Structure 1
Amino acid sequence: MADTPTRRTYLKRTGALVGAGLVAGCSGDSDATTETSSPATDSETATTEAVTAEQTESETATAESNYATELAPVGSVTLDSPPENVFTHFPWFPDMASALGRGDTVNSLWWEGTAAGLDYFTAEFDGFDVEWADEATEYGFSKERLYELDSDLHLVDPAWVTTQDNWTRDDVDEVADNVGPWLGNYYSSYHASPPDEWADEYEYYTLWETFGRVAALYGERSRYEALASVHDDLLETVEDGLPAESERPTVAYLSISEDLSSIYRLRLNAPGYWNSHTRPLGATDAFGGEEFSGPFAQVDMEALAEADPDVVLALWTVTDTFDFGTLTQNLEDDPVGGELTAVRNGRVYPQGTRWQGPLMNLFQLEMTAKQLYPDQFGAWPEYESGDDYPEFGAGEQLFDHRRVADVLAGDV
């Protein structure tokens, strides 16, 4: 990418990030360390301080603008003003924009279920709208489409883009030079390996570290810091309330169809932001240490019976396109599924999406904590398709819902 100003932005490609405050492996933040980090002690309480220090350095170095950040593999990005027209693809970035009060800037995203999921979790917040709900489109995008949208900022990992059909690194550089810069880090999702040509420029970040950098470009650091403080308090509440490891349930984290025809297991305690709502809870993966490549692996009912989890977490099931009651009934009626410990004890629970941004992450961490540890955090109520997220009383909330609503309304 060129080191020259464009119409909207000055973009300087730095390659690998330098400085202890900028790299992903911040002390105390197991999301950004290696896969050997302990899920039981996972904490991101240093996130606010680390990102704040990084943003201060960035602003000092670029005095001509307050809208600056650094994120591998792009490097440094500086905007002349907050972006008003923003392209996204994966769902965590629209969530971030909404959390910053800038959901109206999102001009595109993939998977319409993103809006339904965020609607479910934020139903109690009067006046909060998912402003990009009608912007969902098909998976993938062309260079021509990006020229047509003429976005100020592309919240997509350019390394990932070069793995898609008809995209090269030259194409990525062209869009950055002629339209607007990129910012994204897809492979932090589950600490996958980036394409070889990007490997030397890559670092891993937590969801909340990435959120802080997006907030800097929007000029919304105060909102970010307020929400990050809520998140830090939530993690502390969870850590303080966890039972001894010997008392924790075994859990199968699944993507499962209503008719049971397809069952995929996901990692429960892996690094990366796809597990930022399950890893801090430190439960035992019912499938043990069995390795597999990619983000998920297909299993059958017999393999699930062999694992025999105490709890089943069923991903993608709090949308209006999934009938959770049909799923649980089919499990009860199945000759193998009906014998599962989780089914017999009524411990099959709905989940949202691993493609979570900061708002979904807050709610999903609270949700999953109650599902796994009802004695410690309060029971999760029975869910029926079409329900909104429960309105827990102040004494039942694991984070301050009112505070989050205030931040979304602009009171930071």
Structure 2
Amino acid sequence: MRRRRFLTGATATVGALLAGCAGGGNATDGNSSETTAAGSGADTDSTTASGTDTGGSYSVSMAPMGEVTFEGVPQTWVANNGSWADMGAALGVEPPKALWLPERYHTQYYDDIPGLSVDTSGMTRLFGDGGGVSKEAYYQLGGDIHVQDPNFLLNRAKGWKQADIDEITQNVAPFFANSIFSRQYGWHESYRYYTLYEAFGKLARVFKRQGRYEAFSALHEEMQSQLSGIVPPNDKRPAVAILWASGNQPDSFLPYLINKGTSFKQWRDLKVRDALAETSVKDFHSSRASIDFETLLEIDPEILLLRGHEDQTAKQFQNTVVQFLQNHEVASALTAVKNGDVYRGGPLYQGPIANLVLTERAAQQVYGVSKELFDRRRVGNIVQGKTS
């Protein structure tokens, strides 16, 4: 590919507070600086293409970049997080060469998918010590596309300016993504968000693999139709609390209110009640605050969903975190602990495959569903291009 991007749309400057999750073992990175956001980029949703997968230019539009023109289908790429990496796996393309945090791309979700496995051991970790991201790494990686929201990089990587984004775009490859996993970033208020499948469809156009996207979309709709028969009436839905709990013996928790970001898709689809939303507790992204056991006991959710433990199996989680809570003087009084309703709360990032797995798991956790909600062999076939 000739490494050049053609960009349409207005540019905007947006002051933004750093928020969200970054560090490997914690949900924060400690960087609270403000910076200038990249262009808002009008999203006309007008995708034009010419040529075939082996040649010919084509354009795909997405906020905040606007219209991005490719002179050939990308062969190598860099991605921001596991949401986009999972989309790539669903499209059957080679894994990204680098991720912001490779350890948060939970490929164990593929264990039961025939013919699908992804090795993350060789992926470059972009997020460095102290919140830095090396600009030189982008040159060394030499990706054909950077599937990263440039505003995320500007607001999360220490020292990055718009000039750095422009330099990498001009000299290496374009940026093409949107920070879809959370809707709590102040700097994202000036341009639109996308649902999981809207973003997935955009990436499918970039890689010219729309057939796989359409097959996954149909599978997703089939699961959604099943959920309508699983979700009970509103007064019978449990109140859940989603918290980040670091380590196997947590003494405080970061509260996550269920919002419209893709990070919470399975919980919205299952229509659970958000126990935290019914209190004065503020979302971690906006408050940067944690809650202790005493506050949690006052809320006393029916089901406790703890993030930060996706690398553990259900059994390992029970034998460490849950056992600790059962033996804790205050935690043992929680309704969820007494009733055995403490579970892994899911990752921050999910694409179409992870979402199928996590939605089925969540239905088991909150509604006791025992049957499989999607065909794993069919997923494997779609990834391999067998879409009919």
Q: How does 1:216-231 map to 2 (within 5 A)?
A: 216-231=205-220
Q: TM-score normalised to the size of structure 1? A: 0.77
On the 8 A contact 1:9/1:181 being kept in 2, the answer is yes
1:212 pairs with 2:193: no
Question: Which one of the candidate residues 1, 7, 12 is aligned to 2:7?
Answer: 12
Offset at residue 14 of structure 1 (A):
2.1
Q: Deviations over 1:363-390 (max 9, x none)?
A: 111111111111xx33xxxxxxxxxxxx
* Aligned twin of 2:248: 258
Distance in 1 between residues matched to 2:289 and 2:269, nearest whole Å: 22
Offset at residue 12 of structure 1 (A):
2.1
Letter in 2 for 1:263: F
1:144 pairs with 2:136: yes
Q: Deviations over 1:59-105 (max 9, x none)?
A: 2699994753111000111212221110113221111111111134x
Question: Which one of the candidate residues 360, 364, 372 is aligned to 1:366?
Answer: 360
Q: How does 1:6-405 map to 2 (within 5 A)?
A: 7-15=2-10, 57-59=46-48, 65=56, 67-104=58-95, 106-115=96-105, 117-119=106-108, 121-139=109-127, 140-163=132-155, 164-186=157-179, 188-195=180-187, 200=190, 202-256=191-245, 257-268=247-258, 270-287=259-276, 288-290=278-280, 292-295=282-285, 297-320=289-312, 323-324=316-317, 325-374=319-368, 377-378=369-370, 396-405=371-380
Letter in 1 for 2:8: R
Distance in 1 between residues matched to 2:63 and 2:266, nearest whole Å: 23
On the 8 A contact 1:277/1:368 being kept in 2, the answer is yes
Change (3 A) 1:275 1:297: farther
For the residue of structure 2 that corresponds to 1:362, the secondary structure is: helix
Distance in 2 between residues matched to 1:357 and 1:82, nearest whole Å: 21
Letter in 2 for 1:58: T
Change (3 A) 1:175 1:112: closer
Distance in 2 between residues matched to 1:100 and 1:242, nearest whole Å: 30
Q: Deviations over 1:148-168 (max 9, x none)?
A: 222110011111222222211
Q: TM-score normalised to the size of structure 2? A: 0.81
Q: Deviations over 1:255-297 (max 9, x none)?
A: 11311223222113x1111111211111112221535254374
Letter in 1 for 2:377: R
- 305-314 or 234-243: which moved more? 234-243
On the 8 A contact 1:351/1:364 being kept in 2, the answer is no
Distance in 2 between residues matched to 1:181 and 1:113, nearest whole Å: 25
Q: Deviations over 1:325-346 (max 9, x none)?
A: 1111111111211111111111
Change (3 A) 1:125 1:143: same
Letter in 2 for 1:290: S
Letter in 1 for 2:104: T
Distance in 2 between residues matched to 1:406 and 1:245, nearest whole Å: 37
Distance in 1 between residues matched to 2:374 and 2:4, nearest whole Å: 37
Alignment length (residue pairs): 342
Task: Provide the identity percentage.
Answer: 30
